[in-house]
Structure 1
Amino acid sequence: MSSVPSSSQPEDRERCDVLIVGGGINGCGIARDLAGRGFKVVLCEKDDLAAHTSSSSTKLIHGGLRYLEYYEFSLVRKALQEREVLLKSAPHIMWPLRFVMPHDPAQRPAWMIRIGLFMYDHLARREVLPPSRGIDLREHVAGAALKKEFKRGFVYSDGWVDDARLVVLNAIDARERGAQVLTRTRCTSALREAGGWNVTLEGPEGRRELRARAVVNAAGPWAESFLRGVARPAAGEALATKSLRLVKGSHIVVPRIFTHAHAYIFQNPDKRIIFAIPYQDSFTLIGTTDIEIEGDDPGAAKISQDEIDYLCVQASRYFAKPITKADVVWTYSGVRPLLDDASGDPSAVTRDYLLESNTGAAPLLSVWGGKITTFRKLAEDAADEVARMLGEARPAWTEGAFLAGGDLSPWIGAASRPDADFERFVDALHARYPWLGGALGRRLARAYGTRVEKIIGDARSMADLGEQVAPGLYESELRYLQREEWATSGQDVLWRRSKLGLHLTPQARAQVDEWMRTHAAPAAQQRKEAPLAAQP
C-alpha cells in the first residue's frame, strides 16, 4: 500500500469536494449528479468504465416482476417509476420492449400471474408503456418460435438499455459539468483525518495526491474490501459495518432464434426465471443465473459449464428448436454486489440499495447493492446525503434531464414518444448525411444520439471518415472514442462502447486492437478535464 503524507506535511495536494471510488453505473451516476449541483468531483476507476458488473447485466430497464413474490413492493414501485424517466432521458440507448410470458400450468397459476401483472401495471404511473394483457399464442407472432404445447400467455411492458453506454453517458455528462473522470486509476490509500481525506491515486500518469472533503465508496463488488483494506480510519474508528453477498449472473448469446421484436420471460421449475431477448439484430441473449461466489477477485468471474447447460436446458423447455452449447457464440458474467440480508436463496436477496453514511472525522458514504434501473434515484439520494454531510444542501436536478446525446429536439422538434422520436432522428440523420448509409447511420444514431456530429464533423463523404479499420468502423469513430469516451483498447471499443466484437471476425477484431495500440494518445492528451487546484 502506498504511503500517504500526514496532515503535518506541506499541503501541496490537489483538492476536491468529493472523491468517488468506482466507475460503474452508481459511481458515474453520483458523479454526474454532484457535478451538476456545483460540487468539485473526482471519480477514479481502477479499470475501464463499466468494465465489470455494469456491462454484464441482462440490459433491462424493468420493475422486477419476480420481486413481487418476495414482497419487495417498495423496490418494484421505485423501479417502475424510474422506467419512463430513463426512457425519456436517452431514447437512443433505451427503448420500450414487450415481454411475452408463455403460461406453464405446472408453474405459477394463471390467476397469480394476472394479479402480479395488474399490480405491475398500477404500482406506478405509465405514459409511454402499454399495459399487460392475455394472449393466444396460437395466433400471436411470438407463439411461432415456441413449442405447440404453450397455447396461452401474457404480454407486458418494460424497457431495454445498452448498459455499458449508459455508464459512459453519465461519465460524459459528469465531465461536462466539471468533474474529473480518471480511468485506469486505482485508489491505493485513503486516510481519514479531521476535516477531510488524504488520498493517493495511482494511474497512467503516475501518483497523484488528493485532499477530498468527502469520499463516496461506489466500488460495487469491491465496496467491502475498499473499506477493509484501502480506506484508513482515524484513530478508534471502524469503517466496515456491512457485508456483501457476491452473486454471479451469467448469460449466453446464440444466433437469432426468432425474428419478431418481442422478448420472452420463461418460468423455470426451480421457481427462477430467465429472459430471451432480441440482441444486436442477429442474436438472442439468454440469461441469467444466480450463483453465489466467494473469493478476492470478483472481476475474474466466468460462466461455468453448468450454467451454460442450465440456460440451454431451461430455454429449450419453451423453444421449439432446442438450444445446445454448440449454439453459444458468446458468454459473459457479472457479479452483483448484493447487501447481505441473511436470505438463504441468492435469488431472494434484495436488489434494493442502502446508502450508509459515516460522518466521523470526515464524511464517508458507502453504496451497498442496487440495480441498473434505479441508478438515477440512487444517485440523487446519494448526492442529497453527501450535500447534507458537507452542510451545503443543493437541489436535485436529474429527473427530466437528458443524458449525453439524448436531447433529439434540435433535429426533430418537439418530443412525443421516445421510440418514435428516435426513428424521426434516424430519418433526420439520413436526410442530413445521405452518403452515410442506412446500417452505419442507424448504428451511430443508436450509440451516440446527437453526439454523432462529433464523429462526422465536417465530413462530406465516407472517405472523409478516414480509414475503415474494420467493417463499418472508421478512424473518425475510433478517434472520438479515444478523445471523448476514455477508450484505450480494442476491448473497450468492441465489447463495451459497442458490441461490434460479436459481428467481426477474429482478424478484424485484431485490426481494431492494433489500431488502438498504434494510435494511442498520451494519457495527458486524452484527459479533457481541467486540473484541480492545489490546496492553498
Structure 2
Amino acid sequence: MAVAQKGMEAAATGTLECDVLVVGGGINGAGIARDAAGRGLSVVLCEKDDLAAHTSSASTKLIHGGLRYLEYYEFGLVRKALIEREVLLRSAPHIMWPMRFVMPHAQGQRPAWLIRAGLFLYDMLAKRQILPASSGIDLARHVAGQPLKPIFKRGFVYSDGWVDDARLVVLNAIDAAEKGAKIHTQTRCTALAREGEGWLATLQHASGKQMTVRARSVVNAAGPWTAQFLQQAAPGAQRRHLRLIKGSHIVVKRLFAHDHAYIFQHPDGRIVFAIPYEHDFTLIGTTDLDYHGDSGKVEIDDEEISYLCELSSYYFSKPIVPADVVWTYAGVRPLVEDAAADAKAVTRDYRFELERDGAPLLSVFGGKITTFRKLAEEAVDLLAPVLGNTRPAWTAKACLPGGDVFGSTPQNRSVREFGQFVQGLQREYAWLPAQLVARYARAYGTRIHALLDGRDGVAAMGEEIASGLYAVEVDYLRRHEWAVSAADILWRRSKLGLHLPRETAGKLDAWLLQHRLA
C-alpha cells in the first residue's frame, strides 16, 4: 500500500503517515514541500503561524542576483541567482515582473569605471532572454533624474525583478497541496523523536487539537528557529551556527511617478533601495544589523527609521522625515555564520546538513528568496534517494499556480505580454471595475477564473466588507489559501492594509468570526 494511501486512512484515526515532514512554512519549507510532492513523495508541512508570517514576508521584494555580493567575491551565488531570475519570472508572471534599477553616481564613493565593470560582469554572468542589459544614463535627461538632487549628473541603469514575497510562499504551498501535500498552518511541532526507522512527531494546532505524524524523514526549514528546532530534534550534537541579521523597511507616500527603482550607495558600504510600491507608495530598505532578540517579535527601531530617511534624503530633492513614514516592517534573516565582521558582508548562500544516523533529518541554513527554487531542488535531490525516490527535478519548467498565462509551460511571452492578459480579463469581466480586475490578475493570475466562477455581476460578489474587498475573495482565501485572520488577508495575501482605513482589520476579524466556514 502506498504511503499516501496509508496516510489518508491514518488521518481518520488522528495519525498521519508520510515520507517527509517539513517543519516551517516560509519560502524554503513551502518550496521543498512543493518539489517533494511533485516527485511523488507524501508530504506533511506544519507552520506554527501563518504561511510567510515572518522572514519570508519581510524581504525587500526583489528577485535579484545581488549586485553588491560581487564585492565579496560571491560569484557562484550571484550567478546562481541571476539564472534563477528569469526562471522565476516565467513561472509566475502575475506576482513577479522585471524592474529597472537606477544607481546615481555619488562623488567620493565607488568610482564610475568600477561600477560599470561590475554591471558588465552582472550582465554577463548568466544568459538573459527577458531582462535588458545595463547602461550609463544622463540623469539630467532621464526621467529617473527628476526627483533627485541636481548634483547627481550621471548614473547607471540595470535590470532585476520584483516579487510579492508572501504570495510566492502561498503559491508554493498551493502547488504542494494540489500534488498531495498536507499543509497545516497555525500548527506547531511540539515533540519530535526518532522511532525505529522513522520519526514520531506531535503537531498541535492553535485550537489545542493534536495529531501524530509518523514520517520517514524530517526537513527542518524553521528559518530563524532552525537551530532551536534542531536541538529539540537531536539534542547535544555539534551544530552549524546561524547569524541572525535584522532587515527593516519603511513605506512612504509615492516619491516619484515613473516605474524605475533606485539603488543608493551609503558611504558605510550599505545599499538601500527605493522601489515603487502598491501604486501609491515607495518602499525603502533595508538595514543590516545583527539581531539577538525574540525572532517572533522583530520591529524596526527609531534609529533605523532615521537612517533610511537620511540616506534617502541625501539623494532625493524632497527631504524624507520619520513623520512621512506610513508603514514599517522588519524581519530576521537566518544566515550561515561565517567570518564576516560586518552584518552586510555575511553570505546569503545556503547550506544543508543531512543526518543519516537513523531516520534522515535535513536542516536548511541560510538562503534568499531568489534562490529558493534551486535550494528546494537541491534539498530534495539530497533527501529523495535516501527515501528510495529517483524521480528527476521538475520545477525549473513548471508554472506556479496562476502563472500559466499563455499555456501550461513557462514562457517569455507570459512576462512580456502580461499587460495584454490583464486587458483580456478586463474585457471578460467588464461588469467589475477595471482596477479591481487588474488587482485580481496580479494576485491570482489565471486562478481569477476560479475566484469568480459562477459570478456574473457585482451583486453576486457577496458583501463588500471593505472598499474593493468582497466576501467572495475572503472566502476564496480561507478555502484555498489558508487565511484565517485579517492580518493574513490584508498584509500577506494582499497589501490592502496599506490602502484601507486602520479600523478595517477589526471589522474584518469580526466578519470572519461571524461568518465561519462550514
The TM-score with structure 2 as length reference comes to 0.95
Distance 1:307 1:394 in 2: 47
Q: How does 1:38-117 map to 2 (within 5 A)?
A: 38-117=40-119
Cα shift at 1:136? 0.1
Cα shift at 1:390? 1.7
Once the two structures are superposed, what CA deviation does each residue of 1:165-186 show, in whole Å capped at 9, x if it has no partner? 0000000000000000000000
Helix, strand or coil: the match of 1:192?
strand
Cα shift at 1:417? 3.1
Matched, 1:394 2:391: yes
Preserved contact between residue 101 and residue 263 of structure 2 (Cα < 8 Å): yes
Which stretch of structure 1 is more off in the superposition, 43-52 or 240-249? 240-249
Which stretch of structure 1 is more off in the superposition, 491-500 or 505-514? 505-514
Once the two structures are superposed, what CA deviation does each residue of 1:137-159 show, in whole Å capped at 9, x if it has no partner? 00000000000000000000000
Cα shift at 1:251? 0.1
Cα shift at 1:415? 4.8
Cα shift at 1:394? 1.7
Helix, strand or coil: the match of 2:34?
helix
Cα shift at 1:12? 8.2
Match of 1:216 in 2: 219
Cα shift at 1:510? 2.4
Q: 1:306 aligns with which of 303, 328, 345?
A: 303
Q: How does 1:52-451 map to 2 (within 5 A)?
A: 52-203=54-205, 204=207, 206-228=209-231, 230-232=232-234, 238-239=236-237, 241-295=239-293, 297-409=294-406, 415-451=411-447
Preserved contact between residue 56 and residue 333 of structure 1 (Cα < 8 Å): yes
Distance 1:391 1:456 in 2: 42
The code of the aligned residue for 1:32 comes to R
Distance 2:514 2:449 in 1: 25
The code of the aligned residue for 2:324 comes to D
**Unaligned 5+ runs, structure 1:** 1-10, 526-536
Once the two structures are superposed, what CA deviation does each residue of 1:430-466 show, in whole Å capped at 9, x if it has no partner? 1211111111000000000011112111111111101
Helix, strand or coil: the match of 2:478?
helix
Preserved contact between residue 227 and residue 240 of structure 1 (Cα < 8 Å): no
Residues 239 and 450 (structure 1), Cα distance of their counterparts in 2 relative to 1, 3 Å cut:
farther
Count of residues in correspondence between the two structures: 505
The code of the aligned residue for 1:142 comes to A
Cα shift at 1:419? 3.4
Distance 2:410 2:46 in 1: 37
Preserved contact between residue 227 and residue 239 of structure 1 (Cα < 8 Å): no
Once the two structures are superposed, what CA deviation does each residue of 1:72-123 show, in whole Å capped at 9, x if it has no partner? 0000000000000000000000000000000012110001101100110000
Match of 2:5 in 1: none
Preserved contact between residue 384 and residue 394 of structure 1 (Cα < 8 Å): no
Q: 1:512 aligns with which of 505, 508, 513?
A: 508
Cα shift at 1:421? 2.5
Cα shift at 1:517? 2.1
Distance 2:400 2:265 in 1: 35
Distance 2:442 2:259 in 1: 16
Match of 2:455 in 1: 459
The code of the aligned residue for 1:93 comes to I
Preserved contact between residue 247 and residue 336 of structure 1 (Cα < 8 Å): yes
Distance 1:205 1:454 in 2: 33
Preserved contact between residue 470 and residue 509 of structure 1 (Cα < 8 Å): no
Cα shift at 1:40? 0.4
Distance 1:88 1:176 in 2: 20
Once the two structures are superposed, what CA deviation does each residue of 1:7-42 show, in whole Å capped at 9, x if it has no partner? xxxx98421000000000000000000000000000
Helix, strand or coil: the match of 2:403?
coil
Cα shift at 1:232? 4.1
Match of 2:3 in 1: none
The code of the aligned residue for 1:159 comes to G
Distance 1:476 1:275 in 2: 36
The TM-score with structure 1 as length reference comes to 0.92
Residues 84 and 463 (structure 1), Cα distance of their counterparts in 2 relative to 1, 3 Å cut:
same
Distance 2:126 2:415 in 1: 20
Residues 362 and 86 (structure 1), Cα distance of their counterparts in 2 relative to 1, 3 Å cut:
same
Once the two structures are superposed, what CA deviation does each residue of 1:228-252 show, in whole Å capped at 9, x if it has no partner? 1x3146xxxx455111111100000
The code of the aligned residue for 1:90 comes to A
Distance 1:54 1:139 in 2: 38
Preserved contact between residue 338 and residue 349 of structure 1 (Cα < 8 Å): yes
Match of 2:7 in 1: none
Once the two structures are superposed, what CA deviation does each residue of 1:337-371 show, in whole Å capped at 9, x if it has no partner? 00111211010100000011111111010000000
The code of the aligned residue for 1:125 comes to K
Distance 1:51 1:94 in 2: 20
The code of the aligned residue for 1:281 comes to H
Distance 2:238 2:228 in 1: 9
Helix, strand or coil: the match of 1:431?
helix
Helix, strand or coil: the match of 1:178?
coil
Preserved contact between residue 79 and residue 374 of structure 1 (Cα < 8 Å): yes
Cα shift at 1:383? 0.7
**Unaligned 5+ runs, structure 2:** 1-12
Match of 1:31 in 2: 33
